[in-house]
Amino acid sequence: MSKVLVIGGGVTGIVTAWVLLDRGYHVVIVSKEWASFGKDQRLTSQIARALWEYPPAVCGQHTNTESLHRSKKWCMTAYRIWEAIAQDPNLAKDAEMQMRKSVFFFPNKPEHNTKQRFKLSEIYRSGIKGARRDSSLIQGMGVNLESGAVDAYELLVPVIDTDVSMKWLIDLVLRKGGKLVTDKINGDLLAQERTLIMRFNSDSIVNATGLASKELTSDSTCYPLRGALLRFINDGQDFPKITAAMSIAADASLDNEIVFLVPRNDNILVVGGIAQREEWDLDLTLDSPIIQRMRARCEDFLPCLKNARLDSEYPLAQGLRPGREANIRVERETRNHDTHPSRIVHSYGHGGSGWSLSFGCAEEVAGMVEDMLRND
């Protein structure tokens, strides 16, 4: 069977490797780093809030209709697979994955907002479980009545503990026969395609390197979107235990400083967030003004959080979402060699939606690899 080299050790790369392995390919995954669990900087895929959302996401960056349309298809593929995992007691425990209520609040009625009205109608038709619109959720969830929220709806969605799930995904890929190689690849992939194919004895390459694709594909439209989360102890001692995720749309706040609260697992609540474009440095602290504003904004939205305790082991998580001007790129390499087409397939630029789109993008990538190897 054909061999595929997957470059990238985040959720996009690992899930793509899973799908390729299930289709019978031999897969090697190369990454400069893997999921870690100490106090050092963790992968962007681990820092992600990993709350499944129907596009456009609260912190989404869609700029064209085609990208949004494809994302809706991808997210529903991922929804069905994550849901199946969450509903299997053994898998759900191993992967630390649960189906939870997710409540979205809005500063105006959907009747007065064409985009929200259209999104809500699509959600009702999509097959997403538990879809229900009810403005009484505002008071029922303890939201500050002066926060600007005037309407709400809830869904039943996958919520993922990214640290545990990344380890589970990697272990699963290894059990399926995948091979991991720790290495950093520099420079444009097209220029070194033949070398990489010979080195790893592969027939094709999948690029799932997120923000590193700026260098690896010479794609100047890639940019970082810095995000951050605070991690609170959610054990019911300092405030009533929060079991449902909550979000308020970015257009309800200034400077894209969104509000979301996600019960990561049975003990940790992550809250945020921010979306700082072109900020490359991971130098935020609890004392940074933007982090203090973020916390104040969340406390204003849900006043019980004023009593919250930070997780002393890991209070602040920050990372760089992989943004892209033309939005998500899932396609074959468009540049060719002199005598033959490239055998590189790309999957990057997912912004804050890597988990939500994971299996949808992976299935499309696997289809492209199959067509390419059959027809070239």
44 is in an annotated binding site: yes
352 is in an annotated binding site: yes
pLDDT by 10-residue block (mean), the chain, 376 residues: 97 99 99 88 91 82 76 98 98 97 90 86 96 95 91 97 97 99 98 97 98 98 97 98 89 62 96 95 98 96 97 96 93 89 97 96 99 91
Q: 150: which DSSP letter?
A: -
> What is the fold, at CATH topology level, of the domain defined by 98-160+223-323?
D-Amino Acid Oxidase; Chain A, domain 2 (3.30.9)
pLDDT score of 252: 45
Distance CA 234, CA 240 (A): 8
Architecture of the structural domain at 3-44+164-222+325-375: 3-Layer(aba) Sandwich (3.40)
pLDDT score of 334: 92
Count other C-beta atoms under 10 Å from residue 134's C-beta.
Answer: 12
pLDDT score of 57: 78
Q: Pairing mode, if any, of strands 276-277 and 97-106?
A: unpaired
Domain with CATH 3.30.9.10 in the chain: 98-160+223-323
Cβ atoms of 321 and 351 closer than 8 Å: yes
Cβ atoms of 272 and 229 closer than 8 Å: yes
pLDDT score of 336: 87
Q: Cis before residue 349, ω within 30 degrees of 0? A: no
pTM: 0.95
Cβ neighbours of residue 196 under 8 Å, at least 6 residues apart? 5, 185, 189, 202, 205
> Beta strands of 163-309 (E only): which ranges?
179-182, 204-207, 222-233, 245-248, 259-263, 268-272, 276-277
209 is in an annotated binding site: yes
Domain with CATH 3.40.50.720 in the chain: 3-44+164-222+325-375
